[in-house]
Amino acid sequence: MSKTNINLINRVLELYKILPRAPKSALAIDEFKEKVRHYYDCDIEEKSFVKAIQRDLELIPQLLSAGELTLIESRGRKAAQYCLSQNAFIEQFNSELALVLVMANNYLCEYLPTDIQQNVNGFFEAAKQQLIKDTRLDNWQSRFRFVSQNFTENAENPYDSEVIKIIYQAVLEDGIWLEAEYRKENHFDSHTYMLKPHGIIHCGNKQFLIASKIVKEKGELRTFNMLNFESVNIIPEKISVNINPYDIDALVEGREFEWALFDREEQDIFFVFNEELLEELQRNPIGKNQIISYLEDHHYELTAQCVITKSCMDWFMKNAHLIQVITPSVLREEVVYRATVALERNEIVDPFLNI
C-alpha cells in the first residue's frame, strides 16, 4: 500500500475518532482542523485544507457497517456541522460479540449513570442491529435476562446520581482527588474524608469504590459502598501524599469491601452439615483448603479456613437448620445468639392464655 493511501486511511480514522456521537453536539470543520492538521500537507492553503477535510469526511459513510454520518447544513453565518449517529461504527461485529453486547446492556443498565449509558448506547444498538441482520430475529433482548439477587427489584436505578457520576469521573481520570462525606454501613453519622480513587468493585447489587483514605499525609487503602456517599467534591491533586500500591485481585479475594466479624482474622472452621448443602459447597467452597468427608445418615463434615464476612455469616444463618458448627466457638456462639434472638422476637404467644 502506498504512503499516500496509508496517510488517507489515517486521516479518515482520526476524523472518525474525533466526530462526536449523538446525543453530543455536532462539530463544525473549524473545530476539527487543529486536531488533524498534522495529517495534511503543512503548506496547504486554509481554503484547500477545509475542502480536504470535507472530502475525507465524505468517505466515512462508505466505511460504516452501521449507523450514519449526519450533516447539519450551514445557515447564515453558522458553518455546517458533522456528527455520527449513536449506532455508527466501522467495526463489523460477529454474532457472538453482538450477543455478548446485547446481554451486557441488559445487565449494565441497572448500575451505570444515565450519562454514561447514553454515551455508549450506540455500541449496544449496533450490536442489536447486527444480531437482527445475522439471525433475522429482532427480539434478542427478550431472550436473556439478568435478575437481581434481591427478592424485590429496585424501583429505579440507584446509581443514577450526580455523586456516582463524579466518582466514575474520578476513577476514569487518574489525577482526580475527592473530598467526600460518607456514612459507614449500618451507621447513622457521616464523616468527611479526603480520597484518592483507584477503582470499582461490583458485587451482587452493590458497587464499592476502592480508594486511599488520606490520614496524616498517608494513604490507607479502603473500600466504600458507593450508595453511602452523601456528597463528593473534586479537589486539587495532592502530590505530597504517599499512596501505597494496591492489588485489586487481592482485595477481591480478601473481600475487603465487606464488613467482617472477629477483626477480619482468618478462622479455622469445622462444621457438620446435611447432604442438602453438599452440591452447593462442592461448587462454591466456603474457604481455603476445604475438605468434605462423609459421616453417616446423609451428613458430612467440612473443614476450611476463611474470614467470616457479612455474606459468609448470612450464609450460615440462612442454613442454620442444616448445620452444626463445631469450631471456632465464637462462630458457634454467634449463630446460636442470632437464632435465639430471632426465636424470641417471633415466638408465638397464645392471646387466650392471659384471659
What CATH number does residue 277 fall under?
Answer: 3.30.70.240
Average pLDDT over residues 28-53: 82
Question: Count of residues for the chain?
Answer: 355
Alpha carbon 172 to its chain's center: 12
**Residue whose C-alpha cell reads 501505597 in the numeric block:** 244
- Highest mean pLDDT of the ranges 96-110, 125-139, 193-207, 270-284: 270-284
Q: At residue 268, does pLDDT exceed 90?
A: yes
pLDDT for 66 equals 79
Question: 63-77, 96-110, 306-320 — which one is most confidently predicted on average?
Answer: 306-320
Q: Is residue 57 part of a domain?
A: yes
- For the chain, the average pLDDT equals 83
Average confidence (pLDDT) over 183-188: 82
Last-in-domain residue among 203, 228, 253: 253
Same domain (yes/no): 43, 113 = no
In single-letter form, the type of residue at position 223 comes to T
Instruction: Please indicate, yes or no, whether residues 170 and 228 belong to a single structural domain of this protein.
Output: yes
At 29 the pLDDT is 84
Classify residue 25: in a domain, yes or no: yes
Residue 149 or 272, more confident:
272
pLDDT bracket for residue 239 (50, 70, 90): low
Say how far apart CA 175 and CA 31 lie, in whole Å: 26
| pLDDT tens figures, 87-115 | 787 777 677 777 777 777 777 777 777 77
Is 314 among the domain residues? Answer: yes
Check whether residue 77 and residue 19 sit in a common domain.
Answer: yes
Residue at 355 is within a domain? no
Q: Sheet containing 69-72: which strands, arranged edge to edge?
A: 27-28, 81-84, 69-72
The boundaries of the domain holding residue 213 are 162-253
Q: Which one of 42, 62, 84 terminates a domain?
A: 84
Q: Average pLDDT in the 169-198 region?
A: 88
pLDDT recorded at residue 116: 75
Query: Quick check: is 212 in a domain?
Result: yes
What is the per-residue pLDDT for 316?
Answer: 95
* pLDDT surpasses 80 at 238: no
State whether 210 and 289 are in the same domain. Answer: no
Residues 237 and 270 occupy one common structural domain: no
Query: Are residues 294 and 215 part of one domain?
Result: no
How far apart, in whole angstroms, are the C-alpha atoms of residue 247 and residue 192? 25
Split at pLDDT 50, 70, 90, the class of 283 is: very high
Q: Let me know if residue 154 belongs to a domain.
A: no
153-182 pLDDT, tens digit per residue, is 555 677 778 898 899 888 888 788 999 999
Can you tell me the distance from the alpha carbon of 334 to that of 317, in angstroms, rounded to the nearest whole number?
A: 10
CA pair distance 16, 305, nearest whole angstrom: 54
195 shares a domain with 173: yes
**Of 101-115, 186-200, 262-276, 289-303, where does mean pLDDT reach its minimum?**
101-115
Q: What pLDDT sits at residue 5?
A: 73
Residue 252: pLDDT over 60: yes
- 236 and 272 part of one domain: no
Tell me the pLDDT band of 117, cut-offs 50, 70 and 90.
confident
My answer on whether 207 and 244 are in the same domain is: yes
In a domain? residue 349: no
- For residue 21, the number of C-alpha atoms closer than 13 Å in the C-beta half-sphere is 19
SS3 180: strand
Torsion (CA) 261, 264, 268, 270 in degrees, nearest 10: 20
Residues 48 and 104 in one domain: no
Check which CATH number belongs to the domain holding 197 and give it.
2.30.30
Residue that finishes a domain, picked among 196, 219, 253: 253
Q: In total, how many domains does the chain have?
A: 4
What integer is the mean pLDDT of 262-271?
92
- 249 & 267 share domain: no
61 lies in a domain? yes
Note the pLDDT of residue 79. Answer: 82
